[in-house]
Amino acid sequence: MTKQVEKVDRVIIRFAGDSGDGMQLTGDRFTSETAAFGNDLSTLPDFPAEIRAPAGTLPGVSAFQLHFADHDILTPGDAPDVLVAMNPAALKANLKDVPRGGTIIVNTDEFTSRALTKVGYTASPLEDGSLDGYKVHKVALTTQTVKVLEEFDISRKDAERAKNMYSLGLLSWLYHRPTDSTVAFLEKKFAKKPEIAAANVAAFRAGWNYGETTEDFVVSYEIAPAPMPKGTYRNIHGNLALAYGLIAASHASGLPMFLGAYPITPASDILHELSKHKNHGVRTFQAEDEIAGIGAALGASFGGALGVTTTSGPGIALKGETIGLAVSLELPLVICDIQRGGPSTGLPTKTEQSDLFLAMFGRNGEAPVPIVAPRSPADCFDAALEAARIAVTYRTPVFLLSDGYLANGSEPWRIPDVADLPVIAPDFATGPNKVLEDGSEAFWPFLRDPATLARPWAVPGTPGLEHRIGGIEKQDGTGNISYDPANHDLMVRTRAAKVAGIDVPDLEVDDPSGAAKVLVLGWGSTYGPIQAACRRVRREGNQVAHAHLRHLNPFPANLGRILKEYDRVLVPEMNLGQLSMLVRARYLVDAVGYNQVRGLPFKAAELAGVITNLIGTTDAVEGVGV
Amino acid sequence: MTKQVEKVDRVIIRFAGDSGDGMQLTGDRFTSETAAFGNDLSTLPDFPAEIRAPAGTLPGVSAFQLHFADHDILTPGDAPDVLVAMNPAALKANLKDVPRGGTIIVNTDEFTSRALTKVGYTASPLEDGSLDGYKVHKVALTTQTVKVLEEFDISRKDAERAKNMYSLGLLSWLYHRPTDSTVAFLEKKFAKKPEIAAANVAAFRAGWNYGETTEDFVVSYEIAPAPMPKGTYRNIHGNLALAYGLIAASHASGLPMFLGAYPITPASDILHELSKHKNHGVRTFQAEDEIAGIGAALGASFGGALGVTTTSGPGIALKGETIGLAVSLELPLVICDIQRGGPSTGLPTKTEQSDLFLAMFGRNGEAPVPIVAPRSPADCFDAALEAARIAVTYRTPVFLLSDGYLANGSEPWRIPDVADLPVIAPDFATGPNKVLEDGSEAFWPFLRDPATLARPWAVPGTPGLEHRIGGIEKQDGTGNISYDPANHDLMVRTRAAKVAGIDVPDLEVDDPSGAAKVLVLGWGSTYGPIQAACRRVRREGNQVAHAHLRHLNPFPANLGRILKEYDRVLVPEMNLGQLSMLVRARYLVDAVGYNQVRGLPFKAAELAGVITNLIGTTDAVEGVGV
Amino acid sequence: MPELLKLTTKDFKTDQEVRWCPGCGDYAILAAVQGFMPSLGIKREDIVFVSGIGCSSRFPYYMNTYGMHSIHGRAPAIATGLAASRPDLSVWVVTGDGDALSIGGNHLIHALRRNVNLKILLFNNRIYGLTKGQYSPTSEQGKITKSTPYGSLDAPFNPVSLALGAEATFVARTIDSDRKHLTSVLQAAAEHEGTALIEIYQNCNIFNDGAFEKLKDSSVRDRHLIRLEHGQPITFGAGEDRYGIVRMPDATLKAMPLAEAGDSVLVHDAHADEPDLAFALSRLPDPATLSPTPIGVFRSVRRPTYDTLMSDQLDDAARRLGSGKLDELLTGSDTWTIG
Amino acid sequence: MPELLKLTTKDFKTDQEVRWCPGCGDYAILAAVQGFMPSLGIKREDIVFVSGIGCSSRFPYYMNTYGMHSIHGRAPAIATGLAASRPDLSVWVVTGDGDALSIGGNHLIHALRRNVNLKILLFNNRIYGLTKGQYSPTSEQGKITKSTPYGSLDAPFNPVSLALGAEATFVARTIDSDRKHLTSVLQAAAEHEGTALIEIYQNCNIFNDGAFEKLKDSSVRDRHLIRLEHGQPITFGAGEDRYGIVRMPDATLKAMPLAEAGDSVLVHDAHADEPDLAFALSRLPDPATLSPTPIGVFRSVRRPTYDTLMSDQLDDAARRLGSGKLDELLTGSDTWTIG
Ligand SMILES: Cc1ncc(C[n+]2csc(CCOP(=O)(O)OP(=O)(O)O)c2C)c(N)n1
Ligand SMILES: Cc1ncc(C[n+]2csc(CCOP(=O)(O)OP(=O)(O)O)c2C)c(N)n1
Ligand code: SF4
Ligand code: SF4
Ligand SMILES: [Mg+2]
Ligand SMILES: [Mg+2]
């Protein structure tokens, strides 16, 4: 049978199954194939908080969504074109997101009456007409896989497990993905169990062949590679990019890195990754708790290392006192908060942007800390470098605010040329910096650089610069303990001025027509959805501007001016309005928030609607005004 | 010799000496005598962070300032009329605050050349003319005291120590204070050492007699009692009033109080005080740290107690994660933050208002917590009651933001009639609150009161209401764990709505003429200085309005309207502008801050100047505008 | 009372789906605890389970009593406040090796020295389960995990030694799969007045499978497991290979073939005033191989409990001073009256 | 090296005025440490003192080395990061009984089990000094303080027992006023590779005066003080009343008149693999009266230090894989090229 080939410009696929079905791995592999093929892509894993929730239940469903295209895309997509559902729970949990007309591939083997009852289906949705509006492919994935693997000397359980590779093979066929990398991957992963490796490869190939042969699939799809700037690319997750950014900062500054961390979702992977790179001089310390993690990092900074701590919201809530100490000591420290749903334990595996206030204000006393936020998975690399640059240059703790969506999402990354990376100069103190009245020389640990207001960083081992620092208020210059009222006021204002004066690039506005009246201001991981929404709005003939903040503290110097250039400012955030509050207070601009705390990124279509509505009101208002 | 008696309306005295000189005790006694006499008064102790800094040094100086008058006063006074300086360090540290023409009483015995050198005097200020502009009384306090006590069977050291009572006697004579209470006090304090008691009484009397006899003092002063509302009064410190307010809340609610606390300046005294009142059913638990302190209090709340935790800024920075849990569990909890100078260890014994942001925002996720602040030492009583009322009624943690100035300052307090205290109704759940679809009854721990949005509080021991709660997001109603996106959004908004909807009295504005264009908006302990400043401004013929917030979250419903009624809003704060930022963000009002972080309360005169200047600009602006 | 209540295992189950991985040792412990509860003779409403965070800490959701799933490491502190203010309740803490010994180590040792009336069940699987497999403070040195790909560096805690060093009045160890033993230890803990720490070896079949296999596998376990019983000689082994624990001249304990050891085999005394023997017993197993591992009650001694002492102070004060009157308190001794 | 440096006590003093209360035991400890430092033979710039918060924690300001006065209870954690990343430094921690055992208890026990190269001086005055006199985790039960006007309820920690239960490799105890003994213990700690905990009994003459008087007063101290010396019989007492420590049949230790005890007097072995004896010795004093109190080195054994192990892992990796190249890392193995 010859099959049709259709060209399409973009596809969104969601793989969904039980926690134990290997959906994350399947998604990762499909992503790798897609990346290697040269499409632009964006991914969104979504898994339960339990390690392995009871099989076949709704809370146990694990999903992975992938959006790929022949052009530059920004989000993992709003609604899947294709849903692969490994069991009834996966179908039930995900069906509502698939638009009518979408494609659904189901593993019919799992649609037993017991499994159906477990999730509350009284009749099989495969039979009762509830899928009438969709293109449904019923495949006996388990049976077919087991059959293919009969020859192999492996257990029935292992054979069944390979069904995810079978489905991957089928999808790979369906979208013309290159298969070499998956075969290589399987051989490497199961290097110690060659029989299992061979079985998985066989299942994968069988899935491909099934697509090629069966009459159930008559069309396959081609998505041309996306035109991207010249360069060498890889696909990268946010947490990996963040870890690499930190290692790059260590190279760029010549400072050995010391990570003090306590495991917590969704930050743990950074600890895992960094602990692999000991030959880069990276020391990783799994502390007894978050306070010890940051304490150890601060101690290492005192000793001349690039001190880093990684955690999520609950961990930041514990580190507040030590961050205050770091502010008072004026030592470099990079604090990574991979935000998740709160408050309290909240939704550990879901994304949210609700720690901005905590980062800005979560310490006793006036304790300003610069804040940097990445906008996409790959951007975590640059943001980490920028956080380290500020920390080292200004001798200050710096927040790097990523989130669960960036952490686990992935996209193609053009690998930077190492020679182009910024240089970070630690500029250690090497000798006295003060001539006393009696003509003798001294080292004053709080005598500042007049340009940056940074204090000197003298590390133990440097002869003649022995000094003591601490969390009690210090005399300007000498750093001796001082309870003097005027000195305290001076020091509080000086620390504030130092942070306020950090050299931050001007904010760029994406306003192609220059005629927009509505500005959408965002920060962090909402970049993709906002930008995608703006493109939609523009495609419909409306004008809208988009500016996205990398620096939340201090704000870029031109932010106030930009805000005043637009009639309306919309601030979409995955919180109840934290940036919008900061902007309102600072610039007295009536920024309106669009807020969701659903543990999921915004949908571009929804946001586009909100923007369009707002554009409507602007016109109305103007109409009245003129 | 007959002495002149002059009538004056107000006096400010500052006692200053070494940490070991007993200045705090002397000040306290003088305050008690003054209170008993019926003057209005306000006090400001100011002591070093060290327990006993080396004798004779500037950092070792301990001072106590007292302002008393024949009329209603508001602050401990800007500049002392009388300085009692027990040694050269005390003179040097305090002289700059005494206006020319002021009175200085010095203990000449301590002005040895060694003591002078220690603080950097090259010549004795008593001789070199540097005190020419002041009325100086040189008294050999130590020698005279020791001489008086020669007869007593006590050590030389004990005799020398009594010099503070000698000086108290002298000042008591100078201002016609009643002496009985001090004699009674000394006899009680040294009940176990009668010889010491007698010696101190003798020294006290001798000081009085010295004033009566010596020609050095020719005038004594009378300050008539202040007219105050009818009632029984006592003098009270802020921390004591706060402790009493909590005990009163325990009585008013019928909930046994449980305090979980870890000692920290300036909050420890609340722990000390509460631990005395076991016959009021108060349990005090000195925990291993601040996290355990609040954890235990929360555990006790779960068990049906009035859970309370007391600390200062560094402690709050540690409690953030547990406060988030309390927000998520929706259990009553009173969190007292006696603010001190920050960041980090900062200035532990000095006052500041810089934890407002921390109280508002110091938790991961969206975790709103109501905030209540007292305005004067005695007001700590009412504020504590109000905090408890909100906590119990709305099932929520509540912040009570006091500060070091309120904690240690004192003023007369009209003792309330217990019958007038508000009733706080814990309203425990006693039975099922939900009929399920199948007709059976159930208890749903997150089914809310539609008016307050409070959830039911079912305490262990109540049969049939067994339930489990936790920090993971809960399903609306049932309280079961839920990762559902829409439910999370709903719960986040519901918790926010509950706090936003707390019943808070309208803000009252003090604007006697009704013609003011400038509004001064304050919160917490700045009440006295702001009100005193406004009176000054008005006395000079200008108009100014003053409004003072007890509730920082939620704001009173009429705040926005009030702000818009004035041309300019001034927000004086002992921080870099925290309330002003909240107000600007919320109401888009261009509130200007007047900010100081000097560890000391504002001076009324200075504030008055700032207000007058601002009134000037308003007129100017208006002139242009019209 | 037990007769009156007539509670059954079923009464202690909730309607919540249990969400541990299939095969997890937590299931066995849950079943044992639910099975044991009716014998306590305490009403369901008077029992509270408080936990921290971790796989194990999901426990309270499955117990039809009052319960709180709190935050990581803080359960002993939270339970202390509850138990100290409500001595009428039976308060149980469920925690993991990370929860109790890493982030929560301080609260644990302070609870032990205070002797608050808490029963602490420490599910020790020598791994962080919930965060997917990092090493824990009880993991053997050199352990390869996600966070230690080249092997962990630090010597593990021995929870029994640590507890004894922290003035614990009751310390025991048991194993998830040995329901009978587990139940007997629960029983002993429940009878103890004060803080009881029970270390439960628990298999995490996903991230640290077989960690205690030697102590469970019936074909070998008798060679590695010492069952402590108060008043009984301390022996172990099977068939010909039976050993007794004896004290060596250098004061340490050693396993010696029974024949050789003869009379010198030590007799277990869980009620000894001093924890010397209990501590020495806790040192017997090799931290890496866990052999030979004593299970059972190491120490169980009486010391007044914190909650009772606290209640006594309140009662005393009320007796001496009368129940506190608010108006008297507010008035104090130093007042003046106007008008 | 010591010869080359020619440092004196004076070199270790700073220009900062010492601000403890007159008569405080901290002065004596400071003098002893400043006096001891030159003998270390380490350059001033290679020494760091890290402290928490408390009276004792002001210590670093008075040592002319690098120093950090950090926050309450966290010094062991901060120092761990410093020592682990800079094994070339000599890192000392100064802490109090509240700082180390109350808020900082967890960091302390974890530092001990990790065996980071830290020398921890725990100034134990059995009270909170800086916050003006609340009871501490080492205060005797029933102690009347500002926060416990009716007496404290909880049993105190015995810091030596706790440290031994936490896998410490070096634990010693000494007394502020006995400069010679203090110095000898500092010496032993400095020579130890790994975490050394030294408990120093320190008099707070303001809030807990005389807490250790019995152990200091030359007319009685010999009756209460046991001076431990490795390899020597464990004896104490004066004149006729001399005692030896013997092990009783029930395995506990007891003081017995020397005459009676004869050969059975135990010989101290600080280097024993197992901490059994050290632990038993730590239990000798009555927690309330502190008699009889052993001082000296309880335990000193070798175990690889955390910082060395960590450095070894880095060196190994560099040796095996070559020093890390950033471009290779960033490129990884799965790339595609465009253009
Ligand atoms: C403050 C905080 N830090 C870290 C975490 C992440 N976390 C959750 S459970 C856990 C450790 C779990 O290990 P264990 O206590 O041994 O329990 P188990 O899952 O093995 O039963 C960690 C690190 C958290 N939830 N909160
Ligand atoms: C987070 C925090 N909690 C509490 C305090 C208050 N505080 C300072 S020192 C101290 C205890 C001091 O006792 P200890 O450690 O024994 O030292 P000492 O003063 O007796 O030498 C306390 C509770 C603080 N500074 N920071
Ligand atoms: S990860 Fe381990 S401990 Fe957690 S539920 Fe699964 S098997 Fe049990
Ligand atoms: S309070 Fe005690 S410990 Fe602190 S300095 Fe004074 S005497 Fe020393
Ligand atoms: Mg575990
Ligand atoms: Mg102390």
- How high is the mean pLDDT in each 10-residue block of chain B (626 residues)? 85 93 93 91 86 82 94 92 96 94 95 93 92 93 94 93 95 94 92 93 95 89 92 96 98 98 98 98 98 98 98 98 98 98 97 98 98 98 98 98 97 96 96 96 98 98 98 97 96 98 98 96 97 96 97 98 97 98 98 97 96 85 38
- Give ∠ CA A40-A43-A45 in degrees, rounded to 5: 170
Q: What is the mean pLDDT of chain C?
A: 95
Residues D276, C253: Cα–Cα separation, whole Å: 9
| Tokens at D218, concatenated | 């030359």
| Ligand 6 centroid from CA B598, angstroms | 30
> Is A389 found in the same domain as A538?
no
Residues D220, D237: Cα–Cα separation, whole Å: 9
Q: Write down the pLDDT at residue D1.
A: 41
Query: Does residue C53's CB lie within 6 angstroms of at least one atom of ligand 1?
Result: yes
Q: Write down the pLDDT at residue D4.
A: 59
Residues C13, C35: Cα–Cα separation, whole Å: 10
Question: Which is the closest atom of ligand 3 to the Cα of A50?
Answer: 5
Residue A167 lies in a domain: yes
> Is B386 found in the same domain as B272?
yes
CB atoms < 10 A from the CB of B218, how many? 10
| Ligand 4 centroid from CA D200, angstroms | 14
Output the CA–CA distances (angstroms, integers) from residue B28 to A126, B15, B23, B68, D244, in the order listed: 84, 10, 8, 13, 56
> CB B303 to CB C107 under 8 A?
no
Q: How many Cα atoms occupy the beta-carbon half-sphere of B449 within 13 Å?
A: 16
Q: Write down the pLDDT at residue D46.
A: 98
Give the position of tokens 């959006």: A67
Ranges of chain C whose pLDDT falls below 70: 1-4
Output the CA–CA distances (angstroms, integers) from residue B392 to B385, B457, C39, C80, C240, in the order listed: 11, 9, 36, 21, 68
> Is A313 found in the same domain as A165?
no
pLDDT digits (tens, 9 = 90+) for D147-168: 999 999 999 999 999 999 999 9
Chain C residues within 8 A of A60 when measuring between CB atoms: 19
* Sign of the C-alpha dihedral computed for residues C317, C321, C326 and C331 taken in this order: negative
For residues D167 and D113, the answer to whether their CB atoms sit within 8 Å is: yes
> Is A442 found in the same domain as A554?
no
C43 touches chain A (CB under 8 A): no
Helix or strand (DSSP H, E) at B284: strand B283-286
- Give ∠ CA A221-A223-A229 in degrees, rounded to 5: 170
Query: Does residue D98's CB lie within 6 angstroms of at least one atom of ligand 4?
Result: no
Chain B residues within 8 A of D21 when measuring between CB atoms: 51-52
- Give ∠ CA B345-B347-B348 in degrees, rounded to 5: 70
Residue B227 lies in a domain: no
- DSSP conformation letters of B451-478: TT-PPP---TT-TT---EEESB-B-TBT
Residues B508, B130: Cα–Cα separation, whole Å: 49
Q: Write down the pLDDT at residue B357.
A: 98
Q: Which CATH number do you get for residue A308? A: 3.40.50.970
Question: Which is the closest atom of ligand 2 to the Cα of B315?
Answer: 1
Q: Which of A274, A284, A289, A338 to mutate to test the interface with C (most CBs of C within 10 A)?
A: A289
B228 touches chain D (CB under 8 A): no
Q: Buried (b) or exposed (e) across A473-487, using 16+ Cβ within 10 A?
A: bbbbbbbbbbbbbeb
> Is A50 found in the same domain as A103?
yes
> Is A243 found in the same domain as A215?
no
Report if pTM > 0.90. Answer: yes
> Is A532 found in the same domain as A499?
no
A440 touches chain D (CB under 8 A): no
Chain A residues within 8 A of C72 when measuring between CB atoms: 314
For residues B73 and B58, the answer to whether their CB atoms sit within 8 Å is: no
Residue A224: pLDDT over 90: yes
B312 touches chain A (CB under 8 A): yes
Using the 3D structure, point to which of A157, A189, A222 is the last residue of a domain.
A222
Residue A456, SS3? coil
Residues B564, B560: Cα–Cα separation, whole Å: 6
Residue B318 lies in a domain: yes
Q: Write down the pLDDT at residue A620.
A: 53
The number of distinct structural domains making up chain B is: 4
Chain B residues within 8 A of A49 when measuring between CB atoms: 472, 483
Chain B residues within 8 A of A492 when measuring between CB atoms: 576, 597
| Ligand 4 centroid from CA D214, angstroms | 19
Q: What's CA B386's distance to the chain center, in Å?
A: 16
Output the CA–CA distances (angstroms, integers) from residue A94 to A14, A68, A81, A171, B377, in the order listed: 9, 19, 12, 18, 59
Residue A626 lies in a domain: no
C149 touches chain A (CB under 8 A): yes
Beta bridge partners of C256: C244
C132 touches chain A (CB under 8 A): yes
Q: Write down the pLDDT at residue B20.
A: 85
Residue B536 lies in a domain: yes
Predicted complex ipTM: 0.96
> Is A308 found in the same domain as A196?
no
> Is B246 found in the same domain as B209?
no
Question: Which is the closest atom of ligand 1 to the Cα of C95?
Answer: 15
Nearest residue on chain B to D145, alpha-carbon basis: B272
Residue A268 lies in a domain: yes
Q: Write down the pLDDT at residue A1.
A: 53
D72 touches chain B (CB under 8 A): yes
Query: Does residue B346's CB lie within 6 angstroms of at least one atom of ligand 2?
Result: no
Measured in degrees and rounded to the nearest 5, phi and psi for residue D200 equal -115, 115
CB atoms < 10 A from the CB of B508, how many? 13
Task: Kindly indicate the confidence band of residue A617, based on its pLDDT and cuts at 50, 70 and 90.
Answer: confident
Residue A426 lies in a domain: no
Q: End-to-end CA distance of chain D, in Å?
A: 62
| Ligand 4 centroid from CA D27, angstroms | 10
Output the CA–CA distances (angstroms, integers) from residue B221 to A20, A145, B35, B182, in the order listed: 88, 104, 16, 19
Q: End-to-end CA distance of chain C, in Å?
A: 62
Q: Which of C99, C103, C157 to mutate to test the interface with A (most CBs of A within 10 A)?
A: C103
Q: Which chains touch C (3 or more CB pairs under 8 A)?
A: A, B, D
Task: Kindly indicate the confidence band of residue A20, based on its pLDDT and cuts at 50, 70 and 90.
Answer: confident
Nearest Cα neighbor of A314 from B323, C299, D64, D168 is B323
Residue B366 lies in a domain: yes
Its domain, for residue B198, covers: 4-222
Residue D252: pLDDT over 90: no
Residue A623: pLDDT over 60: no
> Is B537 found in the same domain as B466?
no
Residues A259, A298: Cα–Cα separation, whole Å: 10
Using the 3D structure, point to which of B153, B188, B222 is the last residue of a domain.
B222
Task: Kindly indicate the confidence band of residue A622, based on its pLDDT and cuts at 50, 70 and 90.
Answer: very low
> Is A521 found in the same domain as A499?
no
Percent of chain C with pLDDT over 70: 99
| Ligand 2 centroid from CA B273, angstroms | 19
Chain A residues within 8 A of C71 when measuring between CB atoms: 314, 344-345
For residues A91 and A15, the answer to whether their CB atoms sit within 8 Å is: no
Q: Write down the pLDDT at residue C240.
A: 85
- DSSP conformation letters of B324-387: HHHHHHT--EEEEEEE-B-STTBBTTS---TTHHHHHH-SSSS----EE--SSTTHHHHHHHHH
Mean pLDDT value across residues A297-326: 98
> Is B199 found in the same domain as B105?
yes
> CB A291 to CB D74 under 8 A?
yes
| Ligand 5 centroid from CA B467, angstroms | 25
